[in-house]
Structure 1
Amino acid sequence: MESINQKIDFAFSNNIELYIKREDLLHPIISGNKYRKLKYNIMEAKKSGHYTLLTFGGAFSNHILAVAGAGKEFGFSTIGVIRGDELENKIIDNPTLSKAKEFGMQFYFVDRTVYRDKEDPFFLQRLREIYGDFYLIPEGGTNFFAIKGCEEILIDYDKDFFTHITTAVGTGGTFSGLINSSRASQNLIGFSSLKGSFLSEVIRNFVSKNNWKLDCEYHFGGYGKVSDELISFLNLFYKQTSIPLDPVYTGKMVFGVIDKIKKGYFPENSKILMIHTGGLQGIKGMNLALEKKNKKIIEYYEE
């Protein structure tokens, strides 16, 4: 399945052209990079005779909802191990978890200390004692099969036309797939949504090319953190382009790319392709959190 490349018609200097690949439009529930990451995992689960998918995530996880939606669509039972035992009695107030439950997902809530060791063999054995056999998908979905799926994001035209490819980075799977499928002559930039550069080591485990860099300047305080400046940017960008961006991943990446263009980072005649990795379902949860703090909210969210 291919997604469209939409041109951003801003008046940039140095003859720079900017496009965004609308991976968010691939599927209404399993959107963006989650569609890519789950494609071959679903095939492998079926091939190995599994009927249940188990994975991990937080309160507003795109991955949790995508796995729940994939389970419903492809006939799997699904289990979500959720970070934060205080959420167990708040499912109805959580748009992500309530939707995942609607799709049939069962939840296993754990406190944050237990969650840190979620892939410990003893913990996984305990889960198998409770739920029986299952196909394990890592938090965020990144594994060999996920990277294989993300290698299909770029088509030949993208590899021949664009000088730069950019994406948001959470666990490194999408970025690794893009690097693997890119031309050696292309430049790839991953914009980390987390503090710190440790993801570079993770990515190196999956790639062999050196045509990439991890940019850690636009995380806005860390994973899930936003500012009034970022929210204002997202609202203005939507008014100018009619393209909705999520505030955790793609929104920060787009902010970073445009900021770097303005600062003269990209060479003259650069042709830049930004990857929209979806995640729009998380906007409602973000707005709920912002409203509680009397902060500026994302204005384009629709039910």
Structure 2
Amino acid sequence: MFDSLAHPISYQNLIDYNAIKLDIKRLDLIHPQISGNKFYKLKCNLQHAKELGLDTIITFGGAFSNHIAATAYAAHYFGFKSIGIIRGEELAHQTLNPTLATACQFGMQLQFINRQEYRNKEQSDFIDKLRRHFPTAYIIPEGGTNALAIQGCKEILTAKDRQNYDVICCAVGTGGTITGLIEASDAHQTILGFSALKGDFLQQQVASLTHKMNWNILEDYCFGGYAKTSIQLLDFIQSFEKTYQIPLEPIYTGKMLFGVFELIEQGHFAANTRILVIHSGGLQGRQNLL
């Protein structure tokens, strides 16, 4: 189903610095619309929805959500209707930003709810009400993270990745991608996550999803929280793109790579460490904040 859409994934060397090898895995190239980690998160979920004979995909997200944009396209391509429940009822009275406009372009029906109600999106009463209103719908959580998403994200790390690298770095939003990487990793590897959000709840979330201990999530490079930026971060992204001709966005991948480069400069990694950073796509976010 999804695999027929996949474009080739490439690896690119970024630096060999103080005996540190740093490569990037370009998941952003896997598909122009179902980009990066969203490809892996959605593939098993939509396959399951198809097997169940359901005709509608319901999911959740904020105004800048990569998941909302990717789900809208994937649902459209594979013949599902889609509904996006969007955080912030005030957005219904504003001009749609590029993310939400793209979702609408691919047929997603947007339902804007207030932030208090949105906090209840995982409560059984909320979900039961959705199921009563949409009995033929398949519900995917915010960010796409569930057991099937984790199963899909395990495919990101290949046998060669396990052999060739000591540290795997990724951006973290809801914890699904990093959990898949952790579950697929070998014992000698460390999985290092860079949180795009403020708060230590992601550490607790991932700990509830895996029994492995070879991982950590850093909050130091969230730049104040989700979708927040700074001149320092934007300058880094501009310089990185000029040097390597690899596009980034400031919500996830830009923050992760800023953190990785700073840690290398600070001597955080031992000599001869082989590092792989995962470019998790989401480049539609560039339209909103760059």
Deviation at 1:11, TM superposition (A): 5.3
Q: Does 1:35 align with 2:31?
A: no
CA contact (8 A) 2:59 2:140 kept: yes
Distance in 2 (alpha carbons) for counterparts of 1:205 and 1:54: 25
Deviation of the 1:215 alpha carbon:
1.1
Structure 1 residue runs of 4 or more that deviate by more than 2 Å after TM superposition: 119-133
Unaligned runs of 5+ in 2: 1-5
Structure 1 residue 267, shift from structure 2 partner: 0.5
Equivalence for 1:270: 273
Question: What residue is the counterpart of 1:183 in the other structure?
Answer: 186
Partner of 1:70 in structure 2? 74
Matching of residue 236 in structure 1 with residue 239 in structure 2: yes
1:61: which partner in 2?
65
> Residues 156, 130 of structure 1: CA spacing in aligned structure 2 closer, same or farther, 3 A cutoff?
same
Structure 1: segments with no counterpart, 5+ residues: 287-297, 299-303
Look up the match of 1:114. 117
Aligned equivalent of 1:84, options 85, 88, 91:
88
1:215 aligns with 2:221: no
Question: For 1:11 and 1:213, how far apart are their aligned partners in 2?
Answer: 24
C-alpha distance in 2, partners of 1:128/1:165?
Answer: 38
Aligned-pair CA distance for 1:97: 1.0
The aligned residue for residue 301 of structure 1 is none
Do structure 1's residue 51 and structure 2's residue 55 form an aligned pair?
yes
**Cα deviations by residue, 1:131-184 (Å, 9 ceiling, x for unpaired):** 443100000000000000100001111100101100011111000000010111
Counterpart of 2:206 in structure 1 is 203
Normalised to the residue count of structure 2, the TM-score between the two structures is 0.94
Indicate which of 170, 174, 181 corresponds to 1:171: 174
1-side partners of 2:210 and 2:54: how far apart?
A: 29
- Give the match's secondary structure for 2:169: strand
- Inter-partner Cα distance in structure 1 for 2:226 and 2:97: 19
Return the match for 1:12 from 17, 21, 45: 17
- Please tell me the residue identity of whatever aligns with 2:54: H
Distance 1:160 1:187 in 2: 13
TM-score under structure 1 length normalisation: 0.91
Deviation of 1:126 (Å): 3.4
Aligned residue identity for 2:62: G
Q: What residue in structure 2 maps to residue 134 of structure 1?
A: 137
Identity rate, percent: 50
**How far apart, in 2, do the equivalents of 1:87 and 1:198 lie?**
27
Partner of 2:195: 192
CA distance in 2, matches of 1:73, 1:134: 16
Structure 1 residues 46-102: Cα deviation after superposition (integer angstroms, max 9, x where no partner): 111111000001111100011100011111000000111111133x44111111111
Letter in 2 for 1:143: N
CA distance in 2, matches of 1:33, 1:196: 22
2:134 & 2:149 partners in 1: Cα distance?
Answer: 24
In structure 2, what is the Cα distance between the partners aligned to 1:218 and 1:125?
37
1:3 alignment partner in structure 2:
9
CA distance in 2, matches of 1:206, 1:112: 26
CA distance in structure 2 between the partners assigned to 1:39 and 1:27 by the alignment = 12
> How far 1:206 moved relative to its partner?
1.8
